[in-house]
Chain A
């Protein structure tokens, strides 16, 4: 019987709210965090086919962290620090009561320190003065800067890892943290997903990939519309989600409040294409089945799916195909929603936000709306999708996260009786 792993704390920085209470209230109300990008100065906005994103506006790390704590890291890592701070407080997790070498940090990040990264690159090419590259450039862009600073600030000396698998990064972070605790290498892991790359080059890159929505630049809140016939690509977002995972025994010993159990996880590759999913959904179906098997549950026992659902034409259809392969007649009896309809695609943070939403869904019985589901596409219709808030006493949740690089993850959460 393997060690059971539970979630005891949550923290979030998102386009619909900083802090879990604000985030969850906005989510249940169906608030959109998508807005127009005012500028990509010094680059012309006309050069961008998409001009909207899930932005966190007016964020300053000093509003949430001790003065200067976020100075030497980039925006995504500042988000990570703020989310981790909330999650640790929420879990009433105090490092001074722990063996710090048994507390790990695993961060999922897709793009990392691109704000300063792009600025320095641009400056170097414009000014051609290599000796003026900032001394902090490397520490900022190294992809483990967030896991490093979280560990430093909170004194976590256990396994410290960064997983970068694009859109599935923090789903893997959740799963690998579960593995570490099951394996006994940690009692607890601070899991964070974070990304903040609404930056001139990265955003242009996604535009050139033709992956982003371009039809709703004049109506940003309508752009992220997973499963809807009018979807035309994803909307980039930024943010961070943090979850404190610990062994059930460890949580019980310190009488921690438990949100949910992290019961199962699967990591696979489609080995197919860098950006295009396999159209038949077979591989993604396999990922889901493996996660359910790891959790010891059957498809019949699943109540709720937090879908990957990026609002792309192909991706949403593939995911539903896969859901139908796995769940068959039960597919239309599940409650399903798409968090990206609210906040956009936060890349490395997506899996962690899905974990937070799923944990809150299991504890509260509330399922947030899927925005903009005005005209469900028959190619990816599921009866359990709704543009309204739903209520359901869910016991088992499945999280899907599919990343560029043919990389797939699925995580299973179970409700715990209090």
Chain B
């Protein structure tokens, strides 16, 4: 069961340390780029730290929707909560008490593992 305050607090703390500013000054509504001044490289570095903190891998495709602090919090909550679908994270805050009967959240990438190709070399 995810503790919403924990996830949010840890993410904001990580941002505060990275940006060298007070955690209290960072709001869930803040846009990573426009409000916090992170360029795309800085966003990648930040997410790398968040992956470390929460022991998960964020696939490239998931980066697109992560534009505000709140988006990142919701996303990570969904990943660390014991529910396979990311969309469940949206209701995780409301239904945190639900008992999961599903498999634990994967920390590896959600993409299916590509089988190694046995194609012959291209001439």
Chain A residues close to B by CB (< 8 Å): 15-17, 22, 26, 31-33, 35-39, 45-46, 49, 51, 55-58, 208-210, 214-215, 217-218, 220, 232-233, 273-276, 314
Contact = CB atoms under 8 A, between A and B. Distances in A.
A63 to B, nearest CB: 13
A35 B114 CA distance: 12
10 contacts: A16-B122, A32-B122, A38-B116, A45-B116, A46-B109, A56-B121, A210-B44, A210-B60, A232-B60, A233-B60
Contacts of B122: 15-17, 26, 31-33, 35, 57
Given A22-B123, A38-B117, A233-B60, A217 B111 contact: yes
The 4 closest A-B pairs by CB, nearest first: A36-B117, A57-B121, A217-B114, A38-B116
Interface string B43-83: 01000100000000101110100000000000000000000
Contacts, number: 71
A37 B60 contact: no
Interface string B79-121: 0000000000000000000000000000011010111111111
B25 interface: no
Contact of B39 (A16, A51, A276): A276
Contact of B60 (A15, A49, A51, A273): A49
A209 B45 CA distance: 8
A35 B121 contact: yes
Contacts of A208: 44, 48
B114 to A, nearest CB: 4
A217 B63 CA distance: 18
Contacts of B48: 208
A138 to B, nearest CB: 31
Contacts of A46: 108-109, 113
Contacts of B118: 38
B123 A26 contact: yes
Given A22-B123, A275-B41, A36 B61 contact: no
B39 A273 contact: yes
B49 to A, nearest CB: 12
Given A26-B123, A36-B117, A214-B60, A276 B109 contact: no
